[in-house]
Amino acid sequence: MKLKKVTFILLLLTVLCGCTAQPSNNTNNILKTKTYLYSYDYETEPDGELITAYHEEKPSVDLNESRDVVKATVNFRKNTVTYIKMNETYSKGNYECTVKEAYKTVSSDFFYTLVDEQFMTDVCNHNLTYTVNGHLNHMSPDDHFQDLKRIISAATGKAKRINVIMPFLYESRQHKRTKRESLDCALALEELNAMGVSNIVTFDAHDPRVQNAIPLSGFDSFNPPYQFMKALFRAVPDLIPDKDHLMIISPDEGAMHRAVYFSNILGVDMGMFYKRRDYSTIINGKNPIVAHEFLGDDVAGKDVIIVDDMIASGGSMLDVAKQLKERKAGRVFVCTTFGLFTEGFEKFDEYYEKGYINKVITTNLTYLPAELYKKPYFVKADMSKFLALIIDSLNHDITIGAVMNPTDKIHALLEKYARGEQI
C-alpha cells in the first residue's frame, strides 16, 4: 500500500499537541505576528485512515524580537494552519488534537506540549521484505531493532516519555554468558535506555532477570495465562480442570515457574521433563538432547497442558508430547506465548495426524503465517484487548499492577466455566 509520504513508523497512538503563549490585547496582529510554530502533520493511507503523525518545529525570527500575539497552532493537513486556545479540542475529519497541558520553555513567551510516544515493534516479523541487488531479503530481528532505534532517535527531545512495546524481547534467548559469548539482550536494553527510552514492555521474557541490566528504568514482562485458559476453554468445551482429569507439564526446568503458576491457579498436579544432553558434541551450535526424563505423578488417562514461552523449531516440545502419549496421557495441549515455527509445520502436522498433539495454543503477539490459521490443531490466544489495556494505562499514567496479575480474572473465568456459561 503506497503512502502519500514515505514515513517508517511501526506504531504511534493518539497524541496530545499544541503550544501557547501569553495573551495580547491586540488580536488584530495575530496573522501578522511571526511565531514559533509547533505543528503536527498527519499522513493518511488512500482509504483515509490515519497512519502516522510527526512533530515539526518551524522557528521564526530572532527570539529577542518583540511579539504581540503568539497562539497555539495545530496542523491537521499540510499547509493548513488553525489557531487554537488551551484546553480546547479541535478536530479535522476523524482526527482530534487537544491542547491539554503546556510546559514553559527558556523564553517566557513560549510554551509547548510534551507528548508520550508509544513505539511497537515485532522483531520476529519475517514477512516484511526488501530488495538488494535484485535479491529479495526478509527482515531479520536485527533489521527491526535498527529501525526501532531510528524512530527513537527521531523522537528524542520532542517527547515527554518514550515507551517501547516489544512483545518478543530482542535477543532474549541470549540472556546469559556462555564462555566468551556476548550478552546480547542486556546490551540491547542498555542501548535503548541510553537513547532515552523510559519504559520497555514485553511479554513472557525468556529470563526476566535480564532487566537487571537497566535496574533504574521501567521494564515490564507480562504473561498470558488468562488468555491461554480462555482460548482453551473455547476450543475444548469438555475440558475438566480438576486434579483427577488434568495435569500441567513443564517441558524443561527453565519453564518451571510458568507450570507452577498454572498448577496452583487450577489446583492440579504438575510434572516436569529435564533434558539429558551430550556435552561432548555440538550440533548447530548446541549440545544435542539425548533424552527427556520425566519427574512427576502418573499421567495415564489425564489431559495434559504443556506450558512454555516459545516454539522455535518445536523439536523438544514434540518429543515431550510423544513421551506423554507413550505414558498413556489423554489429550495433549500445548500453550506457548510465541509460535515461531522456525522449521515449518511439517513435523507438527505429522504429530497431529499420529495423535501426539491435539491443540497448539499460541498468541498473536508476533507475526503468524496465514498457513498456520488453516491448521486444525491451531488455536489463537488473542492479546489485542490486553495490549490495548496496557497502552491505555501508560497513556493515562495509572498503575498497571492490576493488569500484571491475572489471578482474579482466571478465578472468575473458572467460575463462569463451571456454571456452564459461554466463555
Q: How confident is the model at residue 315 (pLDDT cuts 50, 70, 90)?
A: confident
Domain match, 249 and 350 both:
yes
Q: Burial level of 68, CB count in 10 A (0-12/13-18/19+)?
A: middle
- Name the domain count of the chain: 3
- pLDDT of residue 99 exceeding 50, the answer is no
159-165 and 199-203 strand pairing:
parallel
Q: Is the dihedral of CA 367, 373, 379, 383 positive or negative?
A: positive
- pLDDT of residue 17 exceeding 60, the answer is no
Which H helix or E strand runs over 335? strand 332-339
394 assigned to some structural domain: no
Domain match, 42 and 98 both:
yes
What is the share, in percent, of the chain residues with pLDDT greater than 70? Answer: 73
Do residues 86 and 113 lie in contact, with contact meaning Cβ atoms separated by under 8 Å?
A: no
Pick from 37-41, 180-184, 265-269: least confident: 37-41
**How many angstroms separate the CA atoms of 162 and 130, rounded?**
28
**How many angstroms separate the CA atoms of 165 and 390, rounded?**
10
125: left (phi over 0), alpha (psi -120 to 50) or beta: beta
Instruction: Identify the CATH number of the domain in which residue 252 sits.
Output: 3.40.50.2020
Q: List pLDDT tens digits, range 341-384.
A: 999 999 999 999 999 999 999 999 999 999 999 999 999 999 99
Domain match, 150 and 185 both:
yes
**How many angstroms separate the CA atoms of 383 and 222, rounded?**
11
Grid coordinates of 47: 482509504
19 assigned to some structural domain: no
- pLDDT of residue 38 exceeding 60, the answer is no
133 assigned to some structural domain: yes
- pLDDT of residue 123 exceeding 90, the answer is yes
135 assigned to some structural domain: yes
304: nearest Cα among 335, 275, 278: 335
Domain match, 66 and 92 both:
yes
Domain match, 238 and 273 both:
yes
Instruction: Find the domain containing 164 and state its range.
Output: 129-222
pLDDT at 183: 86
Domain match, 172 and 192 both:
yes
Domain match, 230 and 203 both:
no
Of 65, 81, 113, the residue that ends a domain is: 113
pTM, two decimals, is: 0.70
303-311 and 289-295 strand pairing:
unpaired
Angle in degrees, CA 86, 91, 96, rounded to 5: 80
Domain match, 85 and 156 both:
no
Instruction: Please state, as a whole number, how many other Cβ atoms lie within 10 Å of the Cβ of residue 236.
Output: 16
**How many angstroms separate the CA atoms of 316 and 254, rounded?**
13
**Stretch 232-243: mean pLDDT, rounded?**
95
**How many angstroms separate the CA atoms of 234 and 239, rounded?**
10
8 assigned to some structural domain: no
**How many angstroms separate the CA atoms of 191 and 197, rounded?**
9
Domain match, 100 and 164 both:
no
187 assigned to some structural domain: yes
Q: How confident is the model at residue 235 (pLDDT cuts 50, 70, 90)?
A: very high
Of 72, 89, 113, the residue that ends a domain is: 113
Phi then psi dihedrals of residue 75, to 5 deg? -110, 100
Non-local (6+) Cβ contacts of 285 within 8 A are none
**CA dist 124 to 336, 339, 340, Å?**
15, 10, 8
pLDDT at 402: 73
122 assigned to some structural domain: no
Q: How confident is the model at residue 67 (pLDDT cuts 50, 70, 90)?
A: very low
415: left (phi over 0), alpha (psi -120 to 50) or beta: alpha
pLDDT at 318: 93
- pLDDT of residue 80 exceeding 50, the answer is no
Higher pLDDT, 90 or 329: 329
**How many angstroms separate the CA atoms of 153 and 146, rounded?**
11
**How many angstroms separate the CA atoms of 30 and 47, rounded?**
36
Pick from 217-231, 242-256, 276-290, 349-363: least confident: 276-290
Of 113, 145, 168, the residue that ends a domain is: 113
Cα dihedral: 226, 230, 232, 233 (round 10): 130
Residue 392 DSSP SS3: helix
Domain match, 340 and 208 both:
no
328 assigned to some structural domain: yes
295: nearest Cα among 337, 241, 256, 268: 256
Higher pLDDT, 411 or 176: 411
Q: How confident is the model at residue 96 (pLDDT cuts 50, 70, 90)?
A: low
Non-local (6+) Cβ contacts of 60 within 8 A are 34, 35, 36, 37
Q: How confident is the model at residue 83 (pLDDT cuts 50, 70, 90)?
A: very low
Domain match, 173 and 40 both:
no
Domain match, 371 and 413 both:
yes
